Structure 1
Amino acid sequence: MDVRPFWLAGRPETGEAELTVTNPHDGEVVAICSVPSAEQVEQAVAAAEAVRKEAAALPVHVRADALAHVARRIAERADEIATLISRENGKPVLWARGEVNRAISTFRFAAEETRRYSGQVQRLDTDAGGAGRVAYITRVPRGPVLAITPFNFPLNLVAHKVAPAIAVGTPVIVKPAPATPVSSLVLGEILAETALPQGMFSVLPVPNERASTLVEDPRLPVVSFTGSGPVGYALLDRVPRKHVTLELGGNAAAVVLADADLDWAASRVAVFANYQAGQSCIAVQRVIVEDGVYDDFVARLLPAVAALVTGDPADEKTQVGPLVSEEAAERVQQWVDEAVAAGGRVLAGGTREGATVAPTVLADVPADAKAYREEVFGPVMVLQRVADVEAAFAAVNDSVYGLQAGVFTRSLDVAFRANRELEVGGVIIGDVPSYRADQMPYGGVKQSGVGREGLRSAMDDFTYEKTMVLTGLTL
């Protein structure tokens, strides 16, 4: 098997070490990737620093055309890339195709935002002291971005960092998850086809234990991290003077109220507690159901969960595949067992075979159990019966996390109440918390992170506002 090169300042390079990527489903070797040496990492950072002024001065059309090219090329290679995602991640090809389509949209949205992202003029003669003055306000790149990305969306979560960096004209260095570097290396191939200057991007599959060198390097003033909370906050504590954005985890709640369409709610909760094998920070974990419809909802939910197809991720019919590793599956199984030992009941699933955990439904789980309090990151949901809307919203907020919540209701008043009261970054009315449109602001509160993704929001995060005042004008 040929060794895949990494991308150093826009050029394919190889190092002395190698990383073997395997399929979580069957252990098949997917790829052997070259790992950059410390010297090569230094070269990548130096190149990003050297090109930062050229990158910032790139004409808008050059940046927009590069992003549009990436969108087109991903679309042309969609089947190939979806297969790679499925094989390196264990994600069913059904969901891998969805990820590819989202990445296409992410780069397309970035191209569109690049053309719209311009300065504004503000008259200052609203006060006598500002007579003859106008402010011209622009946004300026903070500097090269270090993008640290997770395994669960190995293409689109990379896109959400690379695309806004290119859009605002700043170099970006990607450090992909060691378990799933192949998708980002393919993205590097496509970026290399553009007219972007060398040094504008690097993709460096270094081990996690070597990431601190990149994190602490002063030439990378922006760190954009997606991953687990403990790692993210440790990173933030390490570089408090850098501009750090964190997209962290959650234990997302879906609230089912008495006026909900129960068939729709049950079908959506069943799928989106288990899609990506639950390895999504907005996968449904807590299902909070109003007492009057609890039994009816559960009677609809359990058949919907049982109908999910679990198995080989390469099979077109598979909806639930393995977790990213057997170790991850063992940890999920342990949390389920702990919840049961503490008094919880298994209504469905609760078993594991290798890296695959059966779609699991738990009830009567104590509020201090890990499966309720922490982020399971596996195909496990916990049911909770509540008396009314007030109790439901209090239950959602009874969490250190606050990424997104879903509320199944037909009431417009309740929808706006949810938006007022729920302590989360996004409220999805009439659907699961797992809904995300790639152009919308996305991020959490409390221990779910700081900053926002979504193209325009990330572009703002990667830049700062700069004001020029023109004086002595006749307005």
Structure 2
Amino acid sequence: MDKLVRNKIFDEIYRIGEDGVPEFKTYAAGEWVFGESFSEVKSPIDGRTIARVSRLSKEQTEEILSTVYEKGREEIRNYPGEKRIESFLKAAQLMREAFEDFVRVLVLDAGKPKSNATGETKATIERLEKTTFESRRMLGDYIPGDWSEETLESEGIVKREPYGVILAISPFNYPLFISATKVIPALFSGNAVLLKPASADPLAALLFIRVLELAGFPKESFALLTIPGRFMDDVVKDKRIRAITFTGSTEVGEHIIRIGGIKAYHLELGGKDPAIVLDDADLELASEKIIKGMVSYSGQRCDAIRLILAQEEIYEELKAKILEKLKEIEPKNPLEDENAVMGPLIDKHSVDYIEEVYKDAIEKGAKPLTEFKREGNYVWPILLEVDKEKVKELRAFQEDVFGPLTLIIKVKDEDEAVDIANSSRFGLDASVFSECERRARKVARKLEVGSVFINEYPRHGIGYYPFGGMKDSGVGREGIGYSVEQLTTTKTIVHNFKGYGVWEYL
């Protein structure tokens, strides 16, 4: 087996097993340790075992939580903001030096095409560097007391305050970047953080934690919880954890809230992103952007386009353009084709689910415009034509379908398009295609979503613009600066100067 990671900074965190497979330790708030057993990490590309990652015991997990709570949360608060910035910038430099390792791991572990893996690594580095933008988000307010008779001769300051210990739970689809976008603002704002990576592809998060350790952050202020998801309930409900940031399905998000109790929650959940195409749209541009929104990372994105709502005047022409472009796209092995646009789905279960949803749609009257095709973990793009009266009956409309399956619907006008889009229980993002700024802006105002992209497909990038969901798509906003606000609270400190002569009122 070719060496999975080659940069010497990772030499201390794994060993080579008897069968030649690397066996990784996990980071236990100050030291790298082996767990009570290993979890096998299989590549979705071909199903082979590419690594084993330590699985922590309950006793090890408790010890980590105690260390982070009793020591780490104070250490990170006492680590000055200026030094935190220096550490983030150092981490960015270390990632540049180990760039190819991160890309290789994302290709093998998550099945990403090389262009996607490269983009995710670059985005993570940029996110580390953009922490320099965020310091003003930690500034508070000064409130003079002389605007109320009750508070004369006093003043107050309102400061942003870390919660203490934050649990960050990241998904499989962006295992490096989303892990980073949770850990970075948590540490930046003075919180200790426990990162639970996706069990399907934990390697990129593991390498990222190593980089943070070497960048100089207080070693006991963060840890990596490599434990099965089914063992997470005890961690989620632990009173020492004061805030949870989670990206994943709506169902798991609801479960976290039910068992977590009184905590702060930042949840980015499922989506059903519509692309609304008006009759004055540039159809070449619209079809090109919609295709990218459908197939990027094989549709395994919460912001993927799942629903195309096109006005009847341009419906047939748009449909023809999309189908013509889809003919040129097929999933490929990222190891054999570095220019692949699509790779595999994350596992066989995901492929089976897509097929179930497809069959449900066909049984309920949807018309397949592309042939359903699967080979191993690879699924070809699926476009289903659905009558607007039938669409709400389909699982493909009711559920967050994580794969390259999209519905296309003919609508009378923009109001009907908005009504169908808003009837979804999800409200993450939407696209509007129109050459008329006034019409596009009007549709954007009516859509019940967290972000609207005009003449563009939904994409969150490095979080330069804030994003997050409405309705069943989540709670709170993520992005540069905005995540800091989500992962901090406020503390009001009132100074009473009555009788000291500080103020002499008329």
**Category of TM-score, reference length = shorter chain:** over 0.9
Task: Compute the displacement of 1:132 (Å).
Answer: 4.3
Q: How does 1:203-352 map to 2 (within 5 A)?
A: 203-314=224-335, 315-352=337-374
Give the secondary-structure state (helix, strand or coil) at the position aligned to 2:401.
coil
**Stretch moving more, 432-441 or 14-23:** 432-441
Q: How does 1:63-462 map to 2 (within 5 A)?
A: 63-114=84-135, 117-127=138-148, 129-314=150-335, 315-364=337-386, 366-367=390-391, 368-462=393-487
Task: Compute the displacement of 1:284 (Å).
Answer: 0.5
**Contact 2:73–2:164 (Cα < 8 Å) also in 1:** yes
**Stretch moving more, 358-367 or 394-403:** 358-367
**Contact 1:63–1:114 (Cα < 8 Å) also in 2:** no
Distance in 2, Cα, partners of 1:193 & 1:435: 28
Task: Compute the displacement of 1:372 (Å).
Answer: 2.2
Task: Compute the displacement of 1:117 (Å).
Answer: 2.4
Distance 1:395 1:465, change over 3 A: same
Q: Alpha-carbon deviations, 1:352-393, whole Å to 9, x = none?
A: 111111011110263111112211110011101101111111
Q: Alpha-carbon deviations, 1:91-132, whole Å to 9, x = none?
A: 111111111111112222234313652233233334455444
**Contact 1:168–1:459 (Cα < 8 Å) also in 2:** yes
Task: Compute the displacement of 1:458 (Å).
Answer: 1.8
**Contact 1:287–1:383 (Cα < 8 Å) also in 2:** yes
Name the amino acid aligned to 1:145.
I
Distance in 1, Cα, partners of 2:95 & 2:209: 11
Q: In the alignment, what sits opposite 2:10?
A: none
Say whether 1:48 aligns with 2:68.
yes
Q: In the alignment, what sits opposite 1:23?
A: 43
Distance in 1, Cα, partners of 2:363 & 2:421: 24
Say whether 1:34 aligns with 2:54.
yes
Task: Compute the displacement of 1:337 (Å).
Answer: 1.7
**Stretch moving more, 109-118 or 279-288:** 109-118
Alpha carbon RMSD of aligned pairs, Å?
1.7
Distance in 2, Cα, partners of 1:457 & 1:252: 22
Give the secondary-structure state (helix, strand or coil) at the position aligned to 2:195.
strand
Q: In the alignment, what sits opposite 2:8?
A: none
**Contact 2:330–2:381 (Cα < 8 Å) also in 1:** no
Distance in 2, Cα, partners of 1:112 & 1:436: 16
Q: Alpha-carbon deviations, 1:242-269, whole Å to 9, x = none?
A: 2122111011111111111110110111
Name the amino acid aligned to 1:13.
V
Give the secondary-structure state (helix, strand or coil) at the position aligned to 2:219.
coil
Distance in 2, Cα, partners of 1:30 & 1:85: 12
**Contact 1:227–1:247 (Cα < 8 Å) also in 2:** yes
Give the secondary-structure state (helix, strand or coil) at the position aligned to 1:121.
strand
Gaps of 5+ in 2: 1-20
**Contact 1:11–1:192 (Cα < 8 Å) also in 2:** no
Give the secondary-structure state (helix, strand or coil) at the position aligned to 2:84.
helix
**Contact 2:137–2:485 (Cα < 8 Å) also in 1:** no
**Stretch moving more, 326-335 or 429-438:** 429-438
Distance in 2, Cα, partners of 1:340 & 1:317: 33
Per the normalisation by structure 1, the TM-score is 0.96
Distance in 2, Cα, partners of 1:27 & 1:237: 35
Distance in 1, Cα, partners of 2:192 & 2:217: 10
Distance 1:345 1:266, change over 3 A: same
2:34 to 2, 6, 14: 14
Give the secondary-structure state (helix, strand or coil) at the position aligned to 2:244.
strand
Task: Compute the displacement of 1:346 (Å).
Answer: 1.2
Q: Alpha-carbon deviations, 1:137-193, whole Å to 9, x = none?
A: 211111101111110000011011100001101110011111011011001110110
Give the secondary-structure state (helix, strand or coil) at the position aligned to 2:280.
coil
Give the secondary-structure state (helix, strand or coil) at the position aligned to 2:208.
helix
Following TM superposition, the consecutive aligned residue runs of length 4 or more in structure 1 with deviations greater than 6 angstroms are: none
Task: Compute the displacement of 1:412 (Å).
Answer: 2.2
Give the secondary-structure state (helix, strand or coil) at the position aligned to 2:255.
helix
Distance 1:124 1:415, change over 3 A: farther
Distance in 1, Cα, partners of 2:133 & 2:483: 14
Q: Alpha-carbon deviations, 1:402-437, whole Å to 9, x = none?
A: 001111112222233223211111111111123545
Distance in 2, Cα, partners of 1:194 & 1:52: 18
Task: Compute the displacement of 1:45 (Å).
Answer: 0.4
Q: How many residues align?
A: 475
Task: Compute the displacement of 1:19 (Å).
Answer: 0.9
Gaps of 5+ in 1: none
Larger radius of gyration: 2
**Contact 1:111–1:167 (Cα < 8 Å) also in 2:** no
Q: Alpha-carbon deviations, 1:168-219, whole Å to 9, x = none?
A: 0111001111101101100111011022212211012101111112111111
Give the secondary-structure state (helix, strand or coil) at the position aligned to 1:287.
strand
Q: In the alignment, what sits opposite 1:469?
A: 494
**Stretch moving more, 149-158 or 50-59:** 50-59
Distance in 2, Cα, partners of 1:390 & 1:3: 56
Task: Compute the displacement of 1:134 (Å).
Answer: 3.1
**Contact 1:176–1:184 (Cα < 8 Å) also in 2:** yes
Distance in 1, Cα, partners of 2:37 & 2:296: 34
Give the secondary-structure state (helix, strand or coil) at the position aligned to 1:274.
helix
Per the normalisation by structure 2, the TM-score is 0.90
